[in-house]
Amino acid sequence: MSAADSTTPSGGRLGRAWDRLSPVRERVRKRFAVDTRSLAAVRIALALVILLDLLHRSQDLALFYTDAGVYPVAAYEATYGQYTGVSIHALSGDLWFQAVLFVVAGAFAVAFLLGYRTRLVGFVSLLLLFSLQARNPAVLNGGDRLFRVLLAVALVTPLGERWSIDALRRGSARERVASFGTAALLVQPVVVFTANAILKHAGQEWYAGDGLAIALHNDVMTTALGKVVVDFPTLLTLLNYGWVVLLSGSTLFLLGTVGRARMLAAFTYTSAFVGMLLTMAVGLFPLLLMTAMLPYLPDLFWDELAGRVPSAWHDRVPSPEAAAAALGPLGRPPIERRILDPDREGWYGEASDYAVAYARSLLTVLGFCVLVWILVFSASSVSGQDVPEQIDYEHLDQQKWGLYAPDPTESYSWYPSRAYLANGSMANAFGGGELTFDRPPNPAAEYPNFRHRKFMSAVNQAGPDGIIAESYADWVCERAAAVHEEPVKRVTVYRVYQLSPIDGEYEDPGRQIVIERDCSAA
């Protein structure tokens, strides 16, 4: 028997086995295929969140990102070692420098929204986002982590395939895409939910039905609507268990469904995130979770939505050719497509085909690596097992999803400051008369926004001798002197903490000194 004859039966058996697995392969592919309109919606949503984040942070541009604020470059260099040296924003502590970077990031976000050089501008946006977050990690929460992770994962999918300048320049678009990249994009939110459910199981309150009630009794993190909802304990218990079911069953509800059932699941999860947005001040988290649901919207959703658009609007939409012509030079095919012209003959055409095939293969490998990264690091986070030493790198360790887990905190804090003036009097460092430690009518108003709350938590955790605490105290000295128009000898920053009363009356708040600072040292 020849060598060829000896391999034929084996090859035939493998081929027949592969064919028999065709129904299974088709089911798997169907569950990880994404409508390219959904990918376009993800791109637009991420770009809008970038712009919203920049706008929100710009309100505290000087305070959190310059040397004149509470976190100068010197503090950045001395804290959070994993971020040292990785922030472009830390190259200067001047206000103008930060303002320029904010404008540049906004310009790239607009280009990302429009789908111009989508993957390139998206990658630059990711770098600028990470640089901005690294400049002041003390103001970050879990939503910021999800932001950079979701943007990084989304970039291994063809976000510019539809509704983009890139699509107009290319002149063609796929309707659906199934790849390791789309699998990673679909798996990422499921990992977030499943990991959070496992971490909550380590506590007692969520699976006892009390977790949501405790969370919503945290007055500094609850909105006006949230304060109304807490008056309905039965509703809170039902919503608590509903949330636990959604977290625990996300693999079944999201990955185990297709078509209309998947669309219904996506809407159900999105409604929960809308509720979170309206009742809790947790930053960008609910917006990003809603964005993560967009890939689950099937083609029937977009077809139905398109069918509801008035025909008069359709008539106003220019044809792809007219739109590309209106773009002028931007409407020309990308330079790499002109260089790698597949219609060229001879060795150049072969080299072009090889370059295109190599790039596609590289993107497939990258998507596979991203999927493995999600699964390995999330499993490590919930199991407590270390990842292999070869990949145990702190910047890769991003799959930790412990929002309100294992149990929500049963108290909240605020941080008043007292100034001792040169004339011998004492006053509230920020004005408004003598300092009091009574529970304020609206504790949430003690913080302009959630980033202030996170920063003050970092000040408290740093301890009185930590550079974050010292930098903040120096800023309080300067602020108090400006407010009272009087030299300030020293300041004291207090932490006032209040137990959340699930049942009964509020107890008297407790207090402790966080920092005592001689302003002459500032």
Q: Give the CA distances from residue 432 to residues 426, 428, 443, 452, 480, in Å, rounded to whole numbers and listed in that order.
A: 12, 6, 16, 20, 11
Q: Per-residue pLDDT tens for 3-42?
A: 444 444 445 777 776 667 677 777 778 888 999 999 999 9
> How high is the pLDDT of residue 307?
81
**Helix orientation angle between 467-484 and 450-462, rounded to the nearest 10 degrees:** 120
Supply angle C-alpha 364, 369, 371, rounded to 5: 95
> How high is the pLDDT of residue 6?
40
Q: What gap in Å lies between CA 430 and CA 443, rounded to an integer?
A: 16
Strands (E), 226-329: none
Q: What gap in Å lies between CA 427 and CA 436, rounded to an integer?
A: 10
The distance from CA 28 to its chain's CA centroid, rounded to whole angstroms, is 28
Closest residue by Cα to residue 111 from 58, 59, 159, 53: 159
**Could you tell me if residue 346 is left (phi over 0), alpha (psi between -120 and 50 degrees) or otherwise beta?**
left
CA-atom Rg of the chain in angstroms: 27
> How high is the pLDDT of residue 47?
98
Q: What gap in Å lies between CA 443 and CA 441, rounded to an integer?
A: 6
Both tokens of 242, joined, read 């509903």
Q: Per-residue pLDDT tens for 205-234?
A: 999 999 999 999 888 999 989 889 988 999
> How high is the pLDDT of residue 326?
60
Residues of the chain with pLDDT under 50: 1-10
Strands (E), 248-363: none
Confirm if 145 and 100 have CB atoms less than 8 A apart.
Answer: no
Confirm if 137 and 64 have CB atoms less than 8 A apart.
Answer: no
Q: Give the CA distances from residue 460 to residues 88, 404, 456, 464, 512, in Å, rounded to whole numbers and listed in that order.
A: 27, 20, 6, 8, 10
Buried-exposed string 199-214: b where 16+ CB fall within 10 A, e elsewhere: bbbeeebbbebbbbbb
User: For the whole model, what pTM was predicted?
Assistant: 0.90
SS3 at position 350: helix
> How high is the pLDDT of residue 250?
95
